[in-house]
Structure 1
Amino acid sequence: TFFINENTVVVGNPDLLPAYFDSFKLGVNFLDHFTIEAYYINYDGDIIELPRQNNTTNIIAYTPTNLDKKVDYGIDLVFDYSISNRWSLYALTSFYKMTEESDFGEGFVKQEQWSNYSILQNNLTLLEDNSLNIDVNLEWSNKNLMDFQTVENRLISSINISKTIFKNKGVISLSVEDIFNYQDFETSIAYLNQSSTRFQNLDNRFVRLGFRYKFGNTKLSTNERTTDAEERERLKDLN
């Protein structure tokens, strides 16, 4: 037993059994830049770290547990396109349904939830010498079910800008994380005698300014290859 705090522990489970799953996927590429895939995954005895609260002691114990059944199926649509040699775009959206079932001794529980997960990534290179690079990333996770916990909406966002200087020896970078302040999220549990809510307020919103510089001879590897070639030629002449 590992004590996280006075009300939360992590406990092992010597009765765990192997987990098995069947996975099926069918997909097709079309119009050069699109991919669509449908998938179905059926888990038998999937192992999850399940939080269980003791209403007498007020202790929540996280312990690995075999679920009786877990089913995950959905459809993914991917768009990957290089608009030019300076600008590329990647987008993914997935609509899926998660179903979890288990018998906890005091009753059988079945939960299910339709959700959406989407990604949008932009990479842009500017200036004549391609020295300015801009990355914009958005990641959206709709309300979803995970390990008998309902996870509320979450948006992960970031922008990264970098500029090479001093003949590519130096790099100035600017990063902004959690632009919309929507990366923190809430999870809740509500079944049988289990009822709790947790809010994850993480230190994930920041602005970072950086500078990196390469000192010394940055062509050492190239010179080493040239020296090796010259040495081989010298040995040939001696022979």
Structure 2
Amino acid sequence: MKKWSLAAGVRVEQIDVDGVSESLGKVNTQEYLELFPNLAVTNQANENNAYTLNYKRSIDRPSYVDLHPFSTFLNDFTFNTGNPNLQLAFNNKFTVRWNHKNKWFVDAYFLYTKDVLSDVPFQDNSNNTLNTQSINLNYELQYSIDASTYQYINQSWYTALTTSLFYMENETNAAPSGNIDVVTSTTGFFVNSFNRLNISNNRALSMDVDVTYISSLLFGTYEWGGSFITNVSFNKSLWKRRAQLTLALTDIFSTQNQQLTTRYLNQDNNYLALPETRTISIGFTYNFGNFRLENNEVTTPEEQERISKKEVGI
């Protein structure tokens, strides 16, 4: 339609759930008929600039582990409990995008989720126990402005930069604290910078530097204190690019692990996991056969952005 384009679709889903608990003598039945539309309208204002308005409705489902009603004990005072009455969560996302020369992208979006699925800790102060329960929050919403660029600075330097300034908020029914609805919120900043530097003239030797910073995030009533992650890798092509040798160093400053904290009403607890995130790995890849017949398609900036966001989870 000249400067305008339209992409539209809708998915119809019939959902029937029958959960049978023989030990409790209960049957949990849920039935839904839901529509999931996806609509995008784009205006190609000129050769360099395009604007897109998008709406998408999607669904999140509880896992089988979250649906079982039993408790799993980590120790005498800490345990997790599932919930057979979990409901489906429905997401509604509105996005406005500006695309400049297929190199610069700016998105503003609003995401609202009803009955968002989450694992929420509830502490019993009289018995000194902490029970993390699978529940549906009343809602969760996000506002965000994202900016990204994917381009070659020169013949030897490729960079991909993604930033996001966002606000997250959710509401939880604190059943053990008098059934009071509690609102938790945070304003955060995210930045990821990926850089590939070709050290040799024939691009047989390259170095990747990947740096990510997140100031804060919400996981139910938990607020994550943020993290700073630095990964470096070296890639060497051998035997006319038939083989590749890789040396990778992840989280080299050991700054990825941060504390999760819940603090409201009579709830005050935190969680800190310390998995080993600082690692060194060596990899070797060899291509057999006529490897030069590989698909020569190049990842577009839009695909790179989608992959980057999915990996980070923003």
Compute the TM-score of the two structures, normalised by the length of structure 2: 0.64
CA 1:142–1:221: 2 relative to 1, 3 Å: closer
Q: Distance in 2 between matches of 1:166 and 1:35?
A: 38
Structure 1, unmatched stretches of 5+, are 224-239
CA 1:172–1:45: 2 relative to 1, 3 Å: same
Q: Distance in 2 between matches of 1:53 and 1:102?
A: 15
Aligned length: 220
What displacement does 1:206 show? 2.6
What displacement does 1:46 show? 0.8
Map of 1:116 onto structure 2? 189
What displacement does 1:93 show? 0.7
**Deviations, residues 90-118 of structure 1 (Å, cap 9, x unaligned):** 11110111111122231221121110111
What displacement does 1:84 show? 3.7
Map of 2:284 onto structure 1? 212
**Higher relative contact order at CA 8 Å, sep ≥6: structure 1 or structure 2?**
1
Q: Distance in 1 between matches of 2:117 and 2:160?
A: 33
Which amino acid in structure 2 is aligned with residue 40 of structure 1? F
Map of 1:227 onto structure 2? none
Map of 2:141 onto structure 1? 71
1:1-239 map, 5 Å: 1-105=71-175, 106=178, 107-208=180-281, 210=282, 212=284, 214=286, 218-219=288-289
Q: Distance in 2 between matches of 1:27 and 1:214?
A: 41
**Deviations, residues 186-238 of structure 1 (Å, cap 9, x unaligned):** 11110122111222322111333x252649xx336789xxxxxxxxxxxxxxx
Q: Distance in 1 between matches of 2:198 and 2:269?
A: 47
Q: Which protein has the larger Cα radius of gyration, Structure 1 or Structure 2? A: 1
Q: Distance in 2 between matches of 1:213 and 1:88?
A: 23
**Deviations, residues 39-82 of structure 1 (Å, cap 9, x unaligned):** 00111111111122222333322221111121111110111112
Q: 1:170·1:211 contact (CA, 8 Å) conserved in 2?
A: no
SS in 2 for 1:5: coil
4+ aligned runs moved over 4 Å, structure 1: 220-223
SS in 2 for 1:204: coil
Which amino acid in structure 2 is aligned with residue 178 of structure 1? D
Q: 2:118·2:219 contact (CA, 8 Å) conserved in 1?
A: no
> What is the percentage of aligned positions where both structures have the same residue?
21
Which amino acid in structure 1 is aligned with residue 114 of structure 2? D
Structure 2, unmatched stretches of 5+, are 1-70, 294-314
Map of 1:229 onto structure 2? none
Q: Distance in 2 between matches of 1:200 and 1:213?
A: 33
